[in-house]
Each structure stands twice: as C-alpha cells, then as structure tokens.
Amino acid sequence: MSTKNDLIERVTREVMKLYDVPSNQSNPSTSSAPVVSSATNYNSIPTPRVPLNTGDTGKLKSMVIVCGNTQLQEETVLRFKELKSKYRQTKVLLSENAQDLFSNVASRPFAGYEYLFGDEGVQGLEVYDHFHLVNPTLNTLSKLAYLQADNLPALATRKALLWGKPVWISLDQIPRLPQAMMDEFNLIIEKLVKFGYQFDQEITESPKTAYMPVSMNSPLSTLPPINHNKELARYIDHTFLKPEATKKEIEKLCAEAKQYQFASVCVNPYYVSLCAELLRDSSVKVCTVIGFPLGATTTGTKCFEAAEAIRNGAGEIDMVLNISALKSKDYDFVREDVRAVVEACNGTLVKVILETALLTREEIIIASRLCKEANAHFVKTSTGFSKGGATIEHVKLMRTVVGPDMGVKASGGVRNSKDAKAMIEAGANRLGVSASIAIVTGQDAGAGKY
C-alpha cells in the first residue's frame, strides 16, 4: 500500500512531466539526484539542509526568486541584499507581479545582477546550487502547496526540489487572517515543509496593519520556528511518557513537534489516537512504547499492543526487550520475542529498548546482536525510567555491533545540544528526549531523565 509521501512524490513527478522536467536530470553537481523527501526515518532521503552562514556559500551560485508582494516591498529589497553578499554569483528571477513592482529599472535594488523573465527563467536551473524564494504572496504559497505549477516561482522551485537542490522561503511576516483561514494557512506551511521547502529566518511582527505574527505558543500553530538547530531537530523523538501527562500537555507536545519539525512525538499508547489526529497533516510521526517500561509482558501481549497502536495511528514502535529473559540467558526467547513484534508490526518501524543501565557490556553486545537477527530496525538505550540513561560508551558499542544498516537511538539524560551532538557523533541517528526545545535552541535543561 502506498504511503501519503509516496503518493505526493508520484503526483509531483507527473506534474513535472507536463513541463518537460526529466526525473533524473544530470548535471555537474547532482547526477541522478532523487526527488527530495522530508521523511526522517534513518534510511530515508533527508531534506537538504545547508547552513546559510558558512563560508562555503561564497563559492556557490544562487538564484533569488522575487515575488511581487507589495506589502513587503522594502523587506524584499533588504532580503535580497542580505542574500546576494553570500554567494559567488546570484541571478534574479522576477515573477510577473515582481516585474510590475520593480518596473523602474534605474531604481531596482538588484543593480549589477542579471534578471531572468518568463520561460528564460526556468531554463538551465541545474547550474544553481541554492534557491531562495523571497516573500511569496499567499497565492504563490498556495500554488506551491497544491501542485499548481502555473507561475514562475512554483515551476522554478519544483524543478529545484526535483533535482535535490535546497530551496529556502523567506517569509518575513505572515498575513492577518480569521482563525479558520489561519488554520488553512498553517496547513499550507506544513505541506511545503513536507515537500522539502525550508524556512530560514524569523517571522516577525510588521508595523503594517495588513500583517501580524502567529503566536508560537498556540496549540494550533504549525509554523516552523526560527533560531533553532533544524539539523538536530530531525534526530529527535519529542518525548512525554510521564504517567501524569494530561491531554492538554500532549496537545502542546504535538504543537511543539510541528513547530520545530521533530522526527516524532513519543507518547504512551493511550494518547496515540489523539496525536495521530493532531499530526495528521504534518511530517511528524507518532511513536509509542510497548511492554513499557519493564519489558516483562508476554510476547502475545506485546504483539497485540503494537498492532492496536498501529491501527490507532502509530508510525513507530519502541518496544522494551525482555530484560529478565536476557539476564537468564534465554537468548532464543529474547530473539523470538522481538521477531514476533516486528512481524506483528508488518513493516512499521520497530525500535528495541535494551535498558543498557541494567546490562553488562557483554549483555549489551548480545542484546544488540539478537535484535539485529530478529530484523528490528533500531536498538535503543533506555526507557528513562530506570537507574541510568544513554552513555557515549554504550551508543558506540551498540553502533559497532549492529553496523551501519540499523538505527541506534540514544535516550535518557540528554539535556543539551552538546550532549545531543556527542550522541550523534558516537553513532546515534535518533534521540529520545523531553528537553527537545532546549536542545535545538542551545539551552541546557538541567538534570532530568528523558
């Protein structure tokens, strides 16, 4: 059965065929580049994320696509001036409305840079390294989100994404709209993020009465925030497993996951249906825990629990290894316990929690090997409910045992970006944390379990 992302990719390919864009266009820098996916599974194609503040951009070519947003004419000029200083070469593609907006050639702020218009503007895009869409109108954003390639910005940026080129959208302010319309606007932003577009700067309040900011504290807000480490965010399972968690707190968890584009939310099975509904139109997955936190339930119970969670909308399963059986050296049981859950999940990603704080080095090696033999997708360090969490030593050891083809998830005690990066360098490609926002904003959440 095709997933939503599969369907989106197929439809996008068909749309691009109408405009004579080959799906495997080759060029000097990107040969047979795949269609970009924003999925964050360990074996998926990640959305390109090239920092804008590195010196490398001085060697690259960029195309700045300017839209005719009359409300943001001054902001567009400033945005262009900021971008043009970062690249070796910059060309400007003006939308039809932008041509009218900047019709006075002598006063154009882009002096010294080549303009492109009409069909000329969408030819030879493969030579550019980065693309920037500056202050698009609501009409343009809607066309991007709903695959209507009937204007230059939509056609140019879709070609860029098809070839795996990063496309940033500069959206200096967002519109003042009735709440129902704002909800729809948020869905548009979600779709764009899912397609691979990136938002690279702060959305700020404008003195113009036609614009206002969306509150980032609102549970309904789905705009990705700025001033955070997006590269770290894609590793994070935003986690809230406390037994006293309330519905309001889970709703807030989901809103934060949308805003910061975390890989998933990790919640207890009771809240899977709620999270699946709240995250229905986003790229954030719902992860839940099985046999939690002791791992001592029967295999049949774990299988039923996992299958029910998937029916309720879970996209990832974190099951707890039967620690007692491992300690008793009943290795066949441990392997088959995991295998049964993997088979019950029928392709849904399964991570196995080893609870490394309770294991010896030899037991961690054996448990990791058994999980690999059982076809699990990940091994995970900790529940966060035992006497210790993830350590660099244990993550390195697990990575060594399972090799490059399995995932390793570090969870428990990761409370700041320094620790998070250290875990990733040690071999983790997913982090289970509750201090997610502190980590991606460069703060320190202090002592804690998850």
Question: Which active-site residues does the annotation give?
Answer: 318, 380, 409
Give the H or E element holding residue 117: none
Question: Residue 224 to residues 39, 229, 333, 376: CA-CA distances in angstroms?
Answer: 16, 11, 44, 32
Distance from C-alpha of 35 to C-alpha of 47, rounded to nearest angstrom: 10
Beta carbons of 23 and 13 less than 8 angstroms apart: yes
Q: How far is CA 241 from the centre of its chain?
A: 21
How many CA atoms within 13 Å lie on the side-chain side of 244?
Answer: 0
Edge to edge, the sheet with strand 61-66 lists 115-116, 89-94, 61-66, 130-134, 167-170, 198-199
Residues contacting residue 73 through CB under 8 Å, at least 6 positions apart:
101
Which sign does the torsion angle of CA 414, 415, 417, 419 carry?
Answer: negative
The answer, yes or no, to whether the previous bond of 109 is cis (omega within 30 of 0) is: no
Q: CA quadruple 417, 419, 424, 425: dihedral positive or negative?
A: positive
DSSP string for 4-57: HHHHHHHHHHHHHHTTT--TT---SS-TTPPPP----STTSPPPP---TTSGGG
Handedness of CA 426, 432, 434, 436 (dihedral sign): positive
Task: Give the type of residue at 136.
Answer: P
